[in-house]
C-alpha cells in the first residue's frame, strides 16, 4: 500500500525554483533514503511534504488523500512527523518536559506513553531531569526522534540525523534507529552519511539540483559506483 506519492512536484523559495517535477513513491513500512549532495534539495523535499514550503505545481498524496494544499498542522495531525536537522529541542525544559510537551500537543492520534520512550532510548531515561541545553548533540538528536515517535507517526521524516555527530555517537544512533524502523513506521531519511542511510534503507532516491536523478534498491545502488561518484562524491557504499 502506498503511503506517500509525489507527482511532478515543483516548489520555490520566493522566486527561486528549487524542486523540478519531482516524483517519489513510498510504500507501507518501507525505509527509503533520499540522497544527494548538499544543496541538492533533500531538506526542501521534506519541508514540501510537510507543507512548510508550499508546492506550486504537482500533487502530493498521503494515503490516497491529496495534501498538496493542506496546512502544516493538518499534515502533522494525519501522522506525518519531521525530525528536523536543527533538532529544535526546548533548551530550558528537561528531557522529561520536552517529551511531555510533545505528548500533550499530539492531535489526531493517540500519543505513546512517555515511559515507553525511555525503553527505546535508555540514555534519555538516565538524563530525564537534564535540560535540553545541557545535552550533547547526540543526546539532543535522540530526544528529537523520541519527541516525534511519542506522537505515533505513520510516516517519519528524518532530516540529516547524523549531522555534526561524533562517529561513536553515530553508532549509538544507528542502533536506536534500527529499533525504530523495525516498528510499524514508514521512514524517509535524508543523509550525507551514505553508509549510514543505506544500512537502514531498502530503497533509495538520488536527487540532483532539485530533480530526480535515479531510484532503485539499495542493493542496486551499491553496485553502481558510477552513480555514487557522480552524485554523492564517494568511491563506494559498503553496508
**Is residue 238 pLDDT above 50, yes or no?**
no
Give the pLDDT score at 105.
Answer: 94
**Window from 36-50, 93-107, 178-192 with minimum mean pLDDT:** 178-192
Give the pLDDT score at 183.
Answer: 80
Q: Model's pTM, two decimal places?
A: 0.92
Domain around 108: 86-152
The mean pLDDT of 4-19, rounded to a whole number, is 96
Angle of helix 137-149 relative to helix 167-181, nearest 10 degrees, comes to: 10
SS3 of 8-48: EEEEEECCEEEEEEEEEEEECCCEEEEECCCCCCHHHHHHH
Band of residue 205 on the pLDDT scale cut at 50, 70, 90 = very high
Pairing of strands 203-208, 211-217: antiparallel
pLDDT digits (tens, 9 = 90+) for 122-174: 999 999 999 999 999 999 999 999 999 999 999 999 999 999 888 888 998 89
- Same-domain status, 63 and 161: yes
- Same-domain status, 8 and 56: yes
Is the residue at 171 inside a domain?
Answer: no
- Same-domain status, 158 and 66: yes
Amino acid at each position: 500500500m502506498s503511503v506517500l506519492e509525489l507527482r511532478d512536484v515543483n516548489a520555490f523559495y520566493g522566486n527561486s525554483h528549487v524542486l523540478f517535477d519531482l516524483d517519489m513513491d513510498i510504500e507501507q513500512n518501507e525505509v527509503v533514503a533520499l540522497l544527494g549532495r548538499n544543496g541538492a534539495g533533500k531538506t526542501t523535499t521534506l519541508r514540501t511534504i510537510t507543507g512548510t514550503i508550499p508546492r506550486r505545481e504537482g500533487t502530493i498524496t498521503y494515503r490516497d488523500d491529496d495534501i498538496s494544499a493542506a496546512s502544516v498542522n493538518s499534515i502533522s495531525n494525519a501522522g506525518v512527523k519531521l525530525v528536523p536537522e536543527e533538532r529544535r529541542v526546548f533548551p530550558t525544559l528537561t528531557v522529561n518536559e520536552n517529551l511531555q510537551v510533545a505528548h500533550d500537543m499530539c492531535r489526531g492520534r493517540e500519543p505513546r506513553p512517555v515511559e515507553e520512550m525511555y525503553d527505546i532510548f535508555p540514555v534519555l531515561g538516565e538524563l530525564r531531569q537534564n535540560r535540553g541545553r545541557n545535552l550533547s548533540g547526540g543526546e539532543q538528536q535522540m530526544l528529537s526522534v523520541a519527541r516525534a515517535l511519542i506522537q505515533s507517526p505513520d510516516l517519519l521524516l528524518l532530516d540529516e540525523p547524523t549531522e555534526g555527530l561524533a562517529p561513536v555517537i553515530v553508532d549509538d544512533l544507528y542502533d536506536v534507529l534500527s529499533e525504530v524502523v523495525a516498528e510499524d513506521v514508514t521512514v524517509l531519511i535524508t543523509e550525507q552519511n551514505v553508509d549510514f542511510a543505506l544500512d537502514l534503507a531498502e530503497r533509495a532516491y538520488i536527487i540532483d539540483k532539485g530533480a530526480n536523478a535515479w531510484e532503485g534498491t539499495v542493493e542496486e545502488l551499491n553496485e553502481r559506483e558510477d552513480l555514487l561518484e557522480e552524485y554523492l562524491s564517494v568511491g563506494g557504499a559498503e553496508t
